[in-house]
Structure 1
Amino acid sequence: MVRTRRRRRPGRRLSLGAALLAAVASPLFPASTLRAQIPSKFENLKVLPKDISRDSLVSVMRGFALGLGVRCQFCHVGKEGQPFSKWNFKSDDKAAKRKARFMLRMVDYLNRERLPTLPARADASREDPPVTVTCRTCHRGIPVPRPLGDVLELAARRSGLDSAVAVYGDLRRRYYGSGSYDFGERTLVELADRLVDSKRIPEAVRFLQLNLEQYPESVPTYVALSRAHEAAGDRSAAVAALEKATSLRPDDRRIRSELERLRKEGT
């Protein structure tokens, strides 16, 4: 007889273990003077277990804070530096708190219902550790888990190209090396390709020039720059970009072939 997995009802509470896993709970607690301000009983718990201990709840909350790179007031009603006894922790006024409940249930569903069905789980010969999803899996220490290319494209749409370039510099200074954003060689190349496809050529060229400031010998960047210049009708600039790419990678037949095509079409 085939056994079916019973689905969790949307309003059902998580087990303590599931809550700790979702948040990648930190074993570190606030100083004892701060912990003393936190009540031993909690109100308005709709996802976490009602009987959760103070230490466990603080651990889960710190896991959220570390996973998203935020402070308590991101979800809760209170002010930085204000005693916790003055905070309105039971309030649902902030949308972030309501979203957090949804995300907790989503992570629990993935770990309990979906990931166990991965084919690798059924392969007894594999010794890989189980795959699990946590807040940090997607958030990586930032509140909104949006890829860098999407962040920059959105900034360009909302505030202009110069603003988007400034955003890149700010994010690079703050997050480079943290894993929160991908500052690798191809991120801005992929963004530029999308912009060229959308006929946003000046933006594509500017982001590629920005990429060359970080990766001055990036062949993919010069190839993408050639494509952008060709799309703009500037064949000489397109040829110059491919000539630079060829000088950096002289054995690449695909690039040389594309360069020959551009030269022939320009004669």
Structure 2
Amino acid sequence: MNILVINAGSSTIKWQVVDPESGESSHSGLVEGLGTSPSGEDYRDALLTILDSLPQDLELSAVGHRVVHGGEEFGTPVLITDEIEGAIEALSPLAPLHNPANLAGIRAARGALADIPHVGVFDTAFHQSLPKAASTLAIPQDLANEYGIRKYGFHGTSHQFVTRAASKMLGGDPRGHRIVSLHLGNGSSAAAVKGSKCLDTSMGFTPLQGLVMGTRSGDLDPAVVLYLQRNTQLTRDEIDELLNKKSGLLGLSGSADFREVSQRALSGEDDAQLALEIWGWRIRHYLGAYAALMG
């Protein structure tokens, strides 16, 4: 049995062919530099190239897809149907960099591999254990309930895998383990995990909150958005693009590539050095907060 696992992210596609019994990967790859085509054509082209690269005699039993935002609807993996695709698309405003990319991967793979099941695994599912004190936002609750406004958290599959691996290495009773997990990349987040359950995480209603990321601002006083609306000619959509696609390391240094920013910082460039200092400052902030939270 072979399962093709597809992770169509905000700027990359990572994929593996995995034997679920042994956990071993027979084929894998990474495509970078995606997310530049508004219609998602670059993702579709990349997925079709990946599928064409697999050996013709390779038999796939199923395809697993990472999906970033499952809202309150999806707490477990689901068999993907046209209806499920529609539900994922409806959640795209909450993850505009991710769900459209996830969908592009799903649609390309379902079109090319229509005779086998496709399963969606949601990043938000692991964080459904958040206590209400962590998931509830301090706004009028009738409004929050009507529109599903709450902390969802993301990178759940990554945080769950990392904390399980760490617990195994630590040994003893995992129910007593207190672990701060960091997922660092173009998108980054932290999670406080106690006894295999997530108590808090840095991303919130959308993947925009929390740590400084490649192109996302992370934590920001909400009044900044209001100030920009009132005092500049930027439209609502332009402010959205500013915070999601033009901020973070890119806004601070001119580059979203951590490797490039690091090299420039080593060369003595002030803006790159400051960008890394701010990046690290925010991580230390969450490490300390979560250590205190878990006692």
On whether the aligned pair clears a TM of 0.5, the verdict is no
Structure number having the greater strand percentage? 2
Larger radius of gyration: 1
The alignment's TM-score, normalised by the length of structure 2, stands at: 0.26
Structure number having the greater helix percentage? 1
